[in-house]
Structure 1
């Protein structure tokens, strides 16, 4: 791949008192990562130099003031602030939350402008980012506002993909949020993502019920009978391979999930508990349905180990490679739909090399 053809991966630094900055820099100690993409970290050279020295990392940083100044083959740091930042690993700090938002906003703007190709976000603390100007429960909701499309939290690995009808919604409010329109929209988003982002021509999608045992014929709630079943039937009649609702308590334990390309859970913990149990450390949080590609690792700030040099980079590395793969798949999908005989202008991602770099 020629240097000018390398995908530019933007990285927002997340909560600096957590493990985000450690895992971001650690993966670039292996400079073979730079063979596949060009990283652009939105933070400051001073801050990243402190992190580098704290963890005694052997890595060269290239400080720049504008993404247009990037150098391929280098770890680029866009200076989003000039002042020194007091990092106190493991502590929740509203001031640190402000820097997390500065990084995210700058990276998102660059993504919108097209000066970076994809965005990978390091973990934030949902509590210390709240302010008068930023009132979002997390990355997904913020990016849904800033980017075009219908966002969906899609947790993915090579063998398991779990989407959510509702994400950061209190359990007591879940059923009131689920409507026929929402179910239809989310299934459409998952279906389209499987086709263009993961290149699955005829996706098979399973949908989990809302209530325990799908409501047991109304004994434990009637939402599954009144809302879920009729909606899924209509979607099936349109030709999509959509199945369910399935009782969530036995679906994963019985290995039934292996029969589908994606599973849609009704609410956050119904989907994420089995997902993280089966794939923790290898999973990726992908915001499907948007006009730009954003991924993140499947874990949080991990304050309890922050600063100790113990953080595992596996999920963050997976998040980067997944973003690169999805970006390539989307471009190839667009080219093939323009002309079925066309070859993507951007070289196809070498899967064998990709697998070797993940190890």
Structure 2
């Protein structure tokens, strides 16, 4: 059997799908690294919504996908940007997601950390420099505190996410030091600090009070150093391996570096003679079983085997996360549908339309070549259904 796939130049090419998947059995938690897969949410395709309606989720399918990740020994990073925080999923939906997923994690013994931000705030106009956040920095702190309370009450580890409201309101590094300082002093347990670059969210340009990344790094490290015992680790999502490695080497003892670099993750996780990165990655959503298999090789001290399994996945990851990077979720959800983890290719906010058909076709081809689909025949049939909807001749 073959599939006719559209290319970026408008032509059709013939692709022959593989017949057998790369079989990976579930297993115990990974031990050599602390690893979280940032998980997507499954939209409810039957919900009667308007464009302005809150998101409606298929809770059974959403939670089942988290059990899938836990079964392979990975932790789950919940309510992160992969779950469309700030891109269709509002705070009310995210709070419910945190509560439900944390309860599910407790039931199955899975590790979970949850994103804490300020996305219940509205009215920020960064483009004009207008500060319309009620209460300014105090209002931003209160929003963070509200979300932190939900995460802590659910029993999940907190991830302090970058805040669009803070990026729009802060006058300089001192405002970041004040807000994060107050939050860290009241955290019940050590948290993960998340530095998300503007390639993932343009509203975060100039985070830490400057567009100079060297200067921003110094502010970030000052926040960590000023609060010993309060920071479990830092998550770096700048798609810059050299900068991450340099920052990693300067972290205080006991503070982990979680790579969020979906372009260079194999080399960063493998590390060098001066250390390594742990991981909190959106690409580990579609790569879960394969990533777990590779990490078990690392657990056994087989770095070459780890790289042999994970290096070939980078081409797919770079494709999914190509510019504009913030729309990588579309490819992630496509692969979840093709893999049989959900019954439809529908996303919160209609973002299934955010990538072109040639982009989706290439994602299918790369994933199939890696053996990521548990049932290649099902993936082929579903891909053909999508192509039919676009009018691609068989």
TM-score by length of 2: 0.28
Greater strand content: 1
TM-score by length of 1: 0.30
